[in-house]
Amino acid sequence: MGILSPYTLTAPSTAVVTGYQLLADGTLLPHLLASAGRAYTGLFLGVTVGVVLALLSGLTRSGEALIDGVVQIKRAVPTLALVPLVIIWLGIGEAMKIFLIFTAVLVPVYINTHAALRGIDIGHVELARTLGLTRSEFIRKVALPGALPGFFVSLRLAVTLCWTALVVLELINTQTGIGYLMNRARDWGQTDVIVVGIFIYAILGLVSDALVRLIEARMLAYRRVLGT
Amino acid sequence: MGILSPYTLTAPSTAVVTGYQLLADGTLLPHLLASAGRAYTGLFLGVTVGVVLALLSGLTRSGEALIDGVVQIKRAVPTLALVPLVIIWLGIGEAMKIFLIFTAVLVPVYINTHAALRGIDIGHVELARTLGLTRSEFIRKVALPGALPGFFVSLRLAVTLCWTALVVLELINTQTGIGYLMNRARDWGQTDVIVVGIFIYAILGLVSDALVRLIEARMLAYRRVLGT
Amino acid sequence: ALTEDPDTTLAVADQSELVRNLLDASGEASKLGFKGSFPNFAGGPAILEAMRAGALDIAYVGDTPPIQARAAGTLLPIVGTFTRKVAQYRLTSRPGLVIHKLAELKGKKLSYVEGSGRQVFLIEALNRAGVSLKDVELVNLRVADLPDAIRSGAVDVAVLTEPHITRLVKQVGASPVLDPLERQILPSTSYFYARPEVLAEPGKAAAIGSFLGAFARAAKWANANRQAWAKYYYTDFQRITPDDTAAIIAGESPLEMQTAAEAIPHHQKLIDILYQAGSLKERFDAQTSFVDTYDSIVSAER
Amino acid sequence: MTIHAPSFGPVSLRNLSRGFGQKTILNDITLDIPRGQFVALLGESGSGKTTLLRALAGLDDDAVTQGDFRTPRNTSVLFQDARLLPWMSVIDNLTLGLRRSDAKVAASAMLDSVGLGDKADVWPATLSGGQKQRAALARSLLRQPELLLADEPFGALDALTRMRMHGLLFRLVERRKPTVVLVTHDVDEALLLSDRILVLKDGRIAEDHQVALPHPRSTGHPTFVELRQTLLRSLGVETNLV
Amino acid sequence: MTIHAPSFGPVSLRNLSRGFGQKTILNDITLDIPRGQFVALLGESGSGKTTLLRALAGLDDDAVTQGDFRTPRNTSVLFQDARLLPWMSVIDNLTLGLRRSDAKVAASAMLDSVGLGDKADVWPATLSGGQKQRAALARSLLRQPELLLADEPFGALDALTRMRMHGLLFRLVERRKPTVVLVTHDVDEALLLSDRILVLKDGRIAEDHQVALPHPRSTGHPTFVELRQTLLRSLGVETNLV
Ligand SMILES: Nc1ncnc2c1ncn2[C@@H]1O[C@H](COP(=O)(O)OP(=O)(O)OP(=O)(O)O)[C@@H](O)[C@H]1O
Ligand SMILES: Nc1ncnc2c1ncn2[C@@H]1O[C@H](COP(=O)(O)OP(=O)(O)OP(=O)(O)O)[C@@H](O)[C@H]1O
Ligand SMILES: [Mg+2]
Ligand SMILES: [Mg+2]
């Protein structure tokens, strides 16, 4: 960032001071919590529904016919064009924002998990069949564990997506949130606050990603792969 | 969409008429081509660089140390916050737009391909070692084919991402592009044009996805997996 | 004639949280005779979408959104108008370029934010200078990117507001257009428009009256207590430095409420400018965009 | 192809043909295996032993199949590769889908029997080749199937371990009398264990021998030696060399 | 652990120990294999045969290792699983990393030798168990290695095919004289092919026999029969039963 004039983007050192002030005077935390509430509710819903849809679509023909096209269309249409629709359905409150994050998160979770399910070794499926596993046993013991590596990749995408998707949404009817703070800072040219925001996103991104990879490493400890 | 008042979102039938008119009077095509040029240039760059970075980071320790953190931060920071930076570096012309699409596409390509590389069966790596493969042979014959399933998942994400990322960018210094058309329609409340845009995105999304899956099915024909 | 009900709810779309702060700072907020909510938005299009969805009752918007809504086939009647004589917009040139006469805009790269008040301001500036739209290079940009476009010299002239103008002048040597005529191009006008259904509901219609009264009083307070208002809103709430706050206040003329009759001519002018620029397919009659229901309240309270 | 509903009772094949693409692997096979019979299936590598076994297991739906067959409902398959799920401990692999209240206890006991008592809680990836095969054997035997389809279950075992596993299998067969189809490439193994030996050649059952020897069998018994010679010759091996 | 730079010449191990986690698998093994010797490695399932072979191949860097060893530079490894890359045709698997101008021709000829002439262009997943094993054998033999480390390369083959593969391996050994370490669970195989037989037990080389018999060998030769008895006994098998 050295090549930037300090006016375009504040020097990191100044931003640290600003960040500390915002923290100390209690401004930052409520915004952070507000955003976190939205982001993680959306994340939770998106991950849950994404996995369920991936299971329905990956393991049943009728599920695939019903679900896959809809998800493909959803992800092809920019959020901008969805906002008016969702406002009609859910109003301009929190529900609308969480819904849009939920659908944004759903996309990579669905695509990755679905592909991972489709990529399960046929040998394991044959085994499940000959062992007479029930549908539920098959899902819990074979399909989900087999799709876990793909699911974790999508989770890594999702944990940052839920935050970045929020920036645009926190333009609509909100007085809280990091996105709101960033947008307001842009309106008034407060580059130090923008840099604080970038720092927050970067830290959140690195920490969430590291966390997911930690859980991943534990849950996939059985694997004998290049990355271990 | 039956429950929507025509003010909010035009009925699909009206949109078809509008779409036909836009096509017939030659309005639509130049916008579509302008967007396609940007989207696919960004896609091409993002996919290429994403794969190269994934290889560097997935197969070398120093590469991982250098690259991985930067990509994590990039993807954690919303594009909105990057725009001012990129404007300063690249101006407000096409380069800026293509650069931002390129970085947007790079993220899923990198994450998925990197994870796929990391997930390559250690048995195949051992084989490569005992066969005395060169680095380049290892990459071409073992690493890349092994990571191909993960790469294709990311390609599916990328082919629609390059279009949706464009919407926000076609607000900046352009009078062409589907995103420009959508934004202007939004300013002027032309819901029929918005629905035409949604149709275009949906069709593009379904067609690109189908295309990628077709190529995928051919290139992964050797696999004996659930989805075949 | 209109009776107020304290249980009536009124959703007023706000921008930059100006309305809410003005009511709070002036003490009017606590005296509202209804349950008001002030959802904050960024820009007219999102407000129009929320209006059409029925999520809002009335909205605080800039000068072009009512025209855009009407062009889209949704007539949202204007219930209140307030204006500042001297525009908050300023034509500002990039570092290394000083423009002394509006006529010098000819052949320059000008920022163009389609469908916004800045577009109208620019067109009128060119009209005043006798320069045709064809003789300049228009660069579509988002409002948020304008300062950086000037800073990096990506455009020659942009329509900016404070505190960006003062800041760019100080930091990189940008310059406002020096032509005295530039300060007379257009006033800054904003509107409250309403969903027609709301006007037909007696309770809400009464609440709107009460709100407009409160807003007029709040505006009067702000005009009379410029420093207090500036500190409350810009310095304390928006966290703008005292220097920048001073810059904003320095160029700002007082907030004036207008009746429909007073507001119609200017509104017609806006329509005409947009029509001339080709942004409007048909030339509306400004008269039919207004309702005069609340003129008496405005006259009494301003 | 018609697959009759699985039934309790014997295995029967009627004019079963199966191939991949253009190539026919199994060619019009008709075969009856009475309930409780222990059948060994011999044949050259690539002759179609696994293909036949998988057909009986109801797998490979995508293969080109004609004719029909009937198998008992409760069938257990021992694949040629051990096919343990890598994300489960060895004991969890054994109890997977096992409908017994004492699943865990029984699995532990079975692991002891196959000499893997100390490997219950490790990942399958850390087992040796022969240990994987034994774990798969343990999983199959635990099911107490009516029909056991086993595809070279002892291929990776040394002589001693193999004898122990023979003994284990044999004791269970004695006790529960399942029908067994055992694919093997070892003529001695077939002779030691089975009631009947089939040789698969050119897609058909080329030979069908009853092994009327009492148990425990000795490799020195004249009938044993004679049958061994016959089988090796029919498998193309010059017997005087081996 | 120190691994001396690979050298041309013999294989030598000095006090090599290796284990996983707490458990020691190889315990202080010292061993010299002269250049060109054909060594068979016997041992119970799980005794550490694969572990030893993989150590010599320079694999399992993460295992707890002590001592050092020296192997020739040009080593070829035949894994216990066939380990063909699923995304390449069989012939491409054979030529992978092969530095010979006539790679394709040589690979074709080798495929013919292992009886897979018609399988050159199919995916490995469509091969039978024994066919996979033969493809892996072909890949290893093509390399013309100085040291061949083979982990039960004939385990999935029927008697006839196995004899053919023995013959193929033996001809190549005669011609090129590589050093060979062959892990097997088949005592007869070891006796038929090798110059020297090692028995691995409790992490040590428990027995070390020279096999001074001329080729081709006959199973009836008295020395053969005697050594067979000795080996089976040391592997724990009651010889009169088999
Ligand atoms: N999915 C498949 N597609 C095409 N050919 C196949 C497929 N599966 C098996 N084959 C072929 O069918 C033939 C019989 O295979 P099968 O696995 O039944 O042999 P096998 O008798 O079990 O041999 P082995 O003893 O080597 O295991 C082989 O030539 C094999 O290549
Ligand atoms: N990665 C590992 N982690 C832990 N234990 C291991 C690992 N690999 C092998 N072992 C253990 O080391 C022991 C020796 O294994 P090894 O594969 O060398 O046996 P082997 O002699 O080749 O047996 P087999 O004849 O069955 O192939 C076994 O008990 C096995 O469980
Ligand atoms: Mg087989
Ligand atoms: Mg082994």
- Domain locations in chain B? 12-219
Q: Is residue D131 part of a domain?
A: no
Mutate to test the interface with D, among A131, A136, A140, A218 (most CBs of D within 10 A): A131
3-class secondary-structure state, position C283: coil
Neighbours of ion ligand 3 (CB under 5 A): D 50, 80; E 128-129
Report, in angstroms and rounded to the nearest whole number, the Rg of chain C calculated over CA atoms: 19
Q: Is residue E28 part of a domain?
A: yes
CA distance C195 to chain A (A): 15
Question: What is the pLDDT averaged over residues D194-221?
Answer: 89
Q: Is residue D230 part of a domain?
A: yes
Query: Which residues in chain D touch residue E115, judged by CB atoms under 8 angstroms apart?
Result: 45-46
Query: Which of C 245-274 lie inside 8 A of A, CB atoms?
Result: none
Q: Give the distance from CA B148 to its chain's centroid.
A: 17
Q: Which of the two residues, C3 and C51, has the higher pLDDT score?
A: C51
Tell which atom from ligand 2 comes closest to the C-alpha of E51.
18
Question: What is the pLDDT averaged over residues C136-146?
Answer: 84
Q: Which of the two residues, D220 and B116, has the higher pLDDT score?
A: B116
Question: What is the pLDDT averaged over residues E80-94?
Answer: 94
Across chain A, mean pLDDT equals: 87
The CATH number of the structural domain formed by B12-219 is: 1.10.3720.10
**Alpha-carbon torsion, ordered A213, A218, A221, A226, to 10 deg:** 20
Helices (H) and strands (E) in chain B, counts: 10, 0
The reported pLDDT for the residue numbered A5 is: 53
Q: Which of the two residues, D162 and B88, has the higher pLDDT score?
A: D162
Q: Report the C-alpha gap between C158 and D36 in whole angstroms.
A: 92
- Ligand number nearest CA of D124 is 2
3-class secondary-structure state, position C242: helix
Residue A4 has pLDDT above 70, yes or no: no
Residue D242 has pLDDT above 50, yes or no: no
Q: Is residue E107 part of a domain?
A: no
CA distance E221 to chain D (A): 11
Q: Is residue E25 part of a domain?
A: yes
Residue A185 has pLDDT above 90, yes or no: no
Residue of B nearest to A207 (CA): B72
User: Which residue's CA lies nearest to atom 16 of ligand 1?
Assistant: D48
Which tens digits make up the pLDDT trace of C23-42? 999 998 888 888 889 988 87
- The dihedral built from the CA positions of residue B130, B131, B134 and B139, taken in this order, carries a sign that is negative
The reported pLDDT for the residue numbered A2 is: 37
Tell me the pLDDT band of C58, cut-offs 50, 70 and 90.
very high
Question: What is the pLDDT averaged over residues C2-24?
Answer: 85
* B174 interfaces chain C, CB cutoff of 8 Å: yes
Residue D115 has pLDDT above 90, yes or no: yes
Question: What is the pLDDT averaged over residues A32-41?
Answer: 92
Neighbours of ion ligand 4 (CB under 5 A): D 128-129; E 50, 80
Question: What is the pLDDT averaged over residues A2-28?
Answer: 73
Tell me the pLDDT band of A140, cut-offs 50, 70 and 90.
very high
Residue C72 has pLDDT above 50, yes or no: yes
| Interfacial residues of A (vs D; Cβ cutoff 8 Å) | 123-124, 126-134, 137, 141-142, 145-146, 148, 220-224
Query: Which of E 98-157 lie inside 8 A of B, CB atoms?
Result: 123-125, 143
Q: What would the two tokens of residue E7 be?
A: 């050298």
Q: Which range has the worst mean pLDDT, B179-188, C74-83, C172-181, D226-235?
A: B179-188
The reported pLDDT for the residue numbered B198 is: 86
Ordered alpha helix ranges (H), chain A:
12-24, 28-59, 61-76, 79-90, 94-118, 122-130, 135-137, 144-169, 178-187, 191-219
Q: How far apart are the first and last CA of chain D?
A: 42
Tell which atom from ligand 1 comes closest to the C-alpha of D49.
21
D/C Cβ contact: 3+ pairs below 8 Å: no
Residues of E87-121 as b/e, b for ≥16 C-beta within 10 angstroms?
bbbbbbbbbbbbeeeebeebbbebbebbbbeebbe
Instruction: State the greatest distance between any 2 C-alpha atoms of chain E, in Å, as a whole number.
Output: 53
Q: Report the C-alpha gap between C32 and C12 in whole angstroms.
A: 13
What is the DSSP annotation of C84-131? ESS-S-EEEEPTT----SGGGGTT-EEEE-TTSHHHHHHHHHHHHHT-
Which tens digits make up the pLDDT trace of D170-192? 899 888 899 999 999 889 899 99
Which tens digits make up the pLDDT trace of A88-123? 888 888 898 999 999 999 999 999 999 999 999 999
Which tens digits make up the pLDDT trace of E109-144? 999 999 999 999 999 999 999 999 999 999 999 988
Pocket of ligand 2 (CB under 6 A): D 126-131, 156; E 20, 25, 43, 45-51, 80
Closest CA to E211 of E235, E195, E187, E234: E195
Query: Which residues in chain A touch residue D97, judged by CB atoms under 8 angstroms apart?
Result: 128, 131-134, 137, 141
Residue B1 has pLDDT above 70, yes or no: no
Residue A3 has pLDDT above 60, yes or no: no
Which amino acid type is present at position A11? Answer: A
Is the Cβ pair A84, C49 closer than 8 Å? Answer: yes
* C141 interfaces chain B, CB cutoff of 8 Å: yes
Please name the helix (run of DSSP H) or strand (run of DSSP E) that holds residue C202, with its range, or none. helix C202-224
C-alpha distances (whole Å) from D231 to each of B43, C22, C158, D154, D227 are 64, 102, 96, 20, 6
Q: Which range has the worst mean pLDDT, A45-49, B71-75, C143-147?
A: C143-147
Q: Report the C-alpha gap between C64 and C279 in whole angstroms.
A: 11
Q: From start to end of chain C, where are the E strands?
A: 9-15, 35-37, 40-41, 58-61, 78-84, 90-93, 109-112, 137-140, 157-160, 175-176, 188-194, 256-258
The reported pLDDT for the residue numbered E239 is: 56
Residue D7 has pLDDT above 60, yes or no: no
* A175 interfaces chain C, CB cutoff of 8 Å: yes
C-alpha distances (whole Å) from B192 to each of B12, C67, C204 are 8, 18, 31
The domain tally of chain D equals: 1
Tell me the pLDDT band of A170, cut-offs 50, 70 and 90.
confident
Query: Which residues in chain D touch residue A141, judged by CB atoms under 8 angstroms apart?
Result: 85, 88, 96-97
Which amino acid type is present at position C198? Answer: V
Q: Which of the two residues, A188 and C87, has the higher pLDDT score?
A: C87
C-alpha distances (whole Å) from A55 to each of A139, A151, A170 are 8, 11, 32
Which residue is listed with tokens 């918005």?
Answer: B194
The reported pLDDT for the residue numbered D9 is: 65
What's the order of all strands across the beta sheet hosting D23-33?
D2-3, D64-70, D11-20, D23-33
Q: Is the ipTM of this complex over 0.95?
A: no
* E85 interfaces chain B, CB cutoff of 8 Å: yes
Q: Report the C-alpha gap between C119 and C111 in whole angstroms.
A: 9
Residue D188: give the domain boundaries: 11-62+73-85+145-241
Is the Cβ pair A173, C240 closer than 8 Å? Answer: no
How far is ligand 2, taken at its centre, from the CA of residue C97, in Å? 78
Q: What would the two tokens of residue A98 be?
A: 């969480």
E/C Cβ contact: 3+ pairs below 8 Å: no
Can you give the CATH number for the domain in which E165 is found? Answer: 3.40.50.300
The reported pLDDT for the residue numbered E37 is: 93
Is the Cβ pair B58, A153 closer than 8 Å? Answer: no
Q: What proportions of chain C, in percent to the nearest 5, are helix, strand and coil?
A: 50, 15, 35
Q: Report the C-alpha gap between E242 and E233 in whole angstroms.
A: 11
Which among E49, E64, E189 is the best mutation to test ligand 2's pocket, defined by most ligand atoms within 8 Å of the CB? E49
Question: What is the pLDDT averaged over residues E178-201?
Answer: 92
Q: Report the C-alpha gap between E89 and A19 in whole angstroms.
A: 59
Residue of A nearest to D59 (CA): A126
CB atoms within 10 A of CB C300: 10
Tell me the pLDDT band of A9, cut-offs 50, 70 and 90.
low
Please, are residues D11 and D75 in contact by the beta-carbon 8 Å criterion? no
Q: Report the C-alpha gap between C205 and C195 in whole angstroms.
A: 10
CA distance A189 to chain C (A): 7
Residue E40 has pLDDT above 80, yes or no: yes
Residue E3 has pLDDT above 80, yes or no: no
Which residue is listed with tokens 């259904």?
Answer: C197
Mutate to test the interface with C, among A172, A176, A193 (most CBs of C within 10 A): A172
Q: Which of the two residues, A122 and C142, has the higher pLDDT score?
A: A122
Question: What is the pLDDT averaged over residues C95-112?
Answer: 88
Q: Is residue D27 part of a domain?
A: yes
